[in-house]
Amino acid sequence: MTSRPSDRGLAAALRFWGRLTVETLGGRRLDRVVAARLGAAPITATGAGDLPPDGPFVFAVNHFRAGLTMGTVSAVISAAACARPDVARDTLLIVGGPPRPPTGRLVRVVRRLMSAFWARWSRAVLRVPMAGNGPTLSALRAFREAARERPVLVFPEGRASALFADVRPGAGRWLGSLAVPVVPVGVFRSDDGWTVAFGPPLRWSPRAELRDVQLGLAIASLLPPGLAPRWLPLLERWRAAHSG
C-alpha cells in the first residue's frame, strides 16, 4: 500500500516541526533543521565554484514565497555546503520586518513566545527590526560585526514573493559597504525540486547610488525570466551594453 502525497507532506511537516522543537530546546543546530526541512526534495545547484573558498561572505538571496522561507534557506545552505561544508554550521540568517505593537492579550503572549524563540536561536538568527523608515542602528552594527566573522544569508527584497521584485532601498549600498564578498543567489521551487544558482561575488560600482540596481540585476540574472519580469528590460539593456 503506497502513501498519498498529502500523507507524505504531513509526515514531512511533522518531522520538520519535531526537529525544530528538539533543536530549539536542545543543541540549536541549524544544519539539522535544514536537513529536516528539505527531506528528500532534490536540489539542482549551479555556480557553487564561485563561492569564496574560505572566510566570511554574504548570500544575497531572492525571497521565494513566504510559506517556503525555511525551504529557501535550507536549499541555499545545503547547495553551498557541498563546496563549503562550514556554511551548514556557521551561516547566520538575517530576519527583518516592521515592529508590530501589541493590540491585545493574545498578541502580547505570542510576541513573548516568539521573543523567547528568537533568543534561543540567537547564534543562528539575527533579527533586524525596523524603526521608522529603516533598520535600527544597533541591529546594523550587529549585522556588520557578524559579516566580518562568518557567512551571512540575507533577503535584500525585504519581503517574500514568487516573483523577484525591487530590492529594499539602500540594500545594495549597505551590502557593498561591508568589505566582504557578496554572492548573489537565485533560488526557486518547482515540481522537480529546488533550483539554486550562485553567481560570482559582486564587483561593486564605485558609485554607491547604483548598487541597489546592480544587486537586483545580479540576482535577477540567475532566475528564469518568468520569475523576474520586473527586471527584464534592465537586464536586456545591461546585456546589450556588455555584449562586447
Q: Is residue 144 part of a domain?
A: no
CB 43 within 8 A of CB 197: no
Q: Is residue 198 part of a domain?
A: yes
Q: Is residue 184 part of a domain?
A: yes
Q: Is residue 110 part of a domain?
A: no
Percent of the chain scoring above 70 in pLDDT = 68
Is the pLDDT confidence value at 12 over 80? Answer: no
The rounded Cα 79 to chain-centroid distance in angstroms is 13
Residues 64 and 24 in one domain: no
Residues 226 and 196 in one domain: yes
Residues 78 and 160 in one domain: yes
Q: How many residues does the chain have?
A: 244
Residues 159 and 76 in one domain: yes
Residues 190 and 232 in one domain: yes
> Could you tell me the residue range of the domain that residue 54 belongs to?
44-91+150-241
Lowest-confidence region among 64-68, 178-182, 213-217: 64-68
Separation between Cα atoms, residue 117 and residue 165, nearest integer Å: 30
How much is the pLDDT for 1? Answer: 44
Q: Is 177 exposed, middle or buried (0-12, 13-18, 19+ CB in 10 A)?
A: exposed
Lowest-confidence region among 116-120, 129-133, 191-195, 205-209: 116-120
Separation between Cα atoms, residue 12 and residue 74, nearest integer Å: 14
Q: Is residue 190 part of a domain?
A: yes
CB 125 within 8 A of CB 69: no
Residues 20 and 48 in one domain: no
Q: Is residue 202 part of a domain?
A: yes
Residues 34 and 155 in one domain: no
**DSSP collapsed to 3 states, 106-124:** HHHHHHHHHHHHHHHCCCC
Q: Which residue has the cell 522561507?
A: 69
pTM listed for this prediction: 0.80
Render pLDDT for 165-175 as a digit per residue (tens, 0 to 9). 899 999 999 99
Residues 174 and 228 in one domain: yes
Render pLDDT for 214-239 as a digit per residue (tens, 0 to 9). 999 999 999 999 999 999 999 999 88
Residues 25 and 55 in one domain: no
Count of domains observed in the chain: 2
How much is the pLDDT for 42? Answer: 84
Residues 2 and 67 in one domain: no
* pLDDT mean across residues, the chain: 80
Q: Is residue 125 part of a domain?
A: no
Lowest-confidence region among 48-52, 79-83, 88-92, 102-106: 102-106
Residue 197 backbone dihedrals phi, psi, to 5 degrees: -125, 120
**DSSP collapsed to 3 states, 7-76:** HHHHHHHHHHHHHHHHHHHCCCCHHHHHHHHHCCCCEEEECHHHCCCCCCCEEEECCECHHHHHHHHHHH
